[in-house]
A and B are shown apart, each in its own frame.
Chain A
C-alpha cells in the first residue's frame, strides 16, 4: 500500500537530494535511537558548524606571530559576536573529539566493522586521525602558552622516529623550532588541507555505508521496511535542532580558553596538553620516549587498523558485544584495566624507581622494557584466564584487548587531568 503512495507523489528536488544521501526505504530497526545514537549524523553536523564558524573566524585571524594573539583578542573584544563564534568553534571541536570516539566505540562494540564494512572502518580511523590532527593544528593558531608548548612537545616527539624523525619534524615545523613558519604551516593545514581531505573521506564513508546496506543489523527473517521521508528525516532534523540549540546555549556561557601570549622563554608550570592528549602525556612521564612516542602508537595503530581482519569464526554482525560472554568480558576488562593502570601508575610514581635502580643498564631497559613487561605480562595472564576458564573465542579476546587499551588510555587521561599538580607531580 505504501508503495503505491510513493509512486503517485513526485518528490521535490530537496527530497530527491535527500534520497541521494539515504535510500528510499530502510529497515525499521535502524530507526531505533539506541542502535546508532545518531552519532555519525551528529559528527557530520559538527563538521558543518566547524566549517562555517571557521570561515567566519578567518576574516579576523592573522597568521603571523606578531599579530596572531592580538587578532584573537581583538576578535573577542571588538567584533560583534566574535567571542560567541570562537566559542562555537571551540565547543564543536571538543564535542567532535568526544562524539567521534563514541561513534568509534559504538560501531566496534555493535560489531559493525567486519566484512563489507572493513574498508569503511579504515576510512573512519583515518578520519579519527584527521580530527586529532585538526585539533592539534587548530590550537596552535591563537599563539598562547598552551599552543606554543603543546606544539613544541609534540613536534619534538616526531624527532624520536629513527632516521627520518629529525627532517620530518623540521618539515612539519618549517623550521628548527616552533616559530612563524610553523604557524603558517599549521594555518594552511588547519584551514585548507585537512578540511578538504576530510570532505573527501566523509563522502567515501557515507557512500560505503550505503553500499553495505545501511546500519548494521542482526540477521532476521522478516524485516519491516519504512520510508526514509519522513521517518528518518524527521528524526535527523530533531537531533540536529537539539544539538544546535545545545551548542548555542553552551557558547553563551562557556568561553573558549585563551592563556597568556606564547613565551618561548618560559614553560608554564605545570604544562598540560589539551585534555584529549593527556593520556599520551601521562604515558610520556613513565616510559622511554622511544617506547611511548614511537613503538606503542605504532603497535596500537596497526592493531586498530587490523581489527576487522583477524581470523574470526563466530562473528555476529550487528549484535552488541557479539555474545553474552563478550559483554561480560568487556565490562570486566574495562574495570580491570582501570584499576590495574591506576595502581601501576601510583606505584611507578611513588615506589618503583626503575630509572634509578637500573640506571647502569640503560634507559631503554629501565624505563622501556621493564615497565612494558610489567604491563603486558599481567594483561596476557588476564586474557589467558578468560580463554582457559570461560572458553573465550578470538572475537571476544580481541574485543577484550581493545577494551583494555581504551580503558587504560582513559585512566591515564583522568590521572593526568585530575591528579597532577605543580611540576606534573601526583597530588596523592
Chain B
C-alpha cells in the first residue's frame, strides 16, 4: 500500500509537472551600445523582464522587474528613481533595495557581459542578493 501510494504520487507528479520541457534556449539579451545609455537613468526592457540602470560612475546594473515579494511587475517611480509594486505596495530604491515592506529582499539582478561595446544580459539567471554592493556593477 505504502509503496503503491509513493508510486502513484510520482506518476501524478510527473503528469502534472512539466518544468523540464520549459528550459530551452540560452541566449543573452542584447540591450544595445554602451554609449547609448545616459548616466543616472533607468531604462525599462519589458521583453527582457529587467530594468537597466546606469549609475553616476558609469556602472551598469540589470535588475529583474519581478517584485521579490510575490512576483508582480514593479513600475519605475519617476520621482525617486526607484520602483513601486502595484500588488502589495512594496517600494524599492534605485539600487533595487527595499524601502518599504512587505518585500523582504532587494530586486534580483541579472549578470551583465560587455563585449565590443555592446551590453549582453543573461536573463535566464536571476541572482538573489541581500543588499546593494559596488561589486554588482559592471563597467565598460
Contacts and interface: CB of A to CB of B under 8 A. Distances in A.
A binds B: yes
Interface of A: 149, 152-153, 156-157, 170-172, 174-176, 179, 181, 185, 264-271, 281, 284-289, 292, 353, 355-356, 363, 366-367, 422-425
Chain B residues touching A, majority SS: loop
B5 interface: no
Most interface-central of A157, A271, A287 (chain B CB within 10 A): A271
Given A153-B87, A156-B71, A265-B46, 16 more contacts: A149-B72, A152-B70, A153-B70, A156-B70, A175-B18, A176-B22, A181-B22, A265-B65, A266-B73, A267-B86, A269-B75, A281-B88, A284-B88, A353-B100, A355-B102, A367-B101
Contact of A424 (B46, B87, B101): B87
A171 B101 contact: no
Interface in B94-111: 98, 100-102, 104
Contacts, number: 93
A268 B16 contact: no
B47 interface: yes
B19 A284 contact: no
Nearest to B48: A265
A286 B101 CA distance: 8
Given A156-B70, A157-B70, A265-B49, A271 B87 contact: yes
- Interface size class for chain B? 20 to 34
Q: Please report whether the interface of chain A is mostly helix, strand, loop or mixed according to DSSP.
A: helix
Given A157-B70, A265-B47, A289-B69, A356 B100 contact: yes
A267 B87 contact: yes
A253 to B, nearest CB: 31
Contacts of A268: 86
B64 interface: no
21 contacts: A149-B87, A152-B72, A171-B13, A171-B17, A265-B46, A265-B73, A267-B73, A267-B85, A267-B86, A270-B86, A284-B69, A288-B101, A289-B70, A292-B102, A353-B100, A355-B100, A363-B101, A367-B101, A424-B86, A424-B88, A425-B89
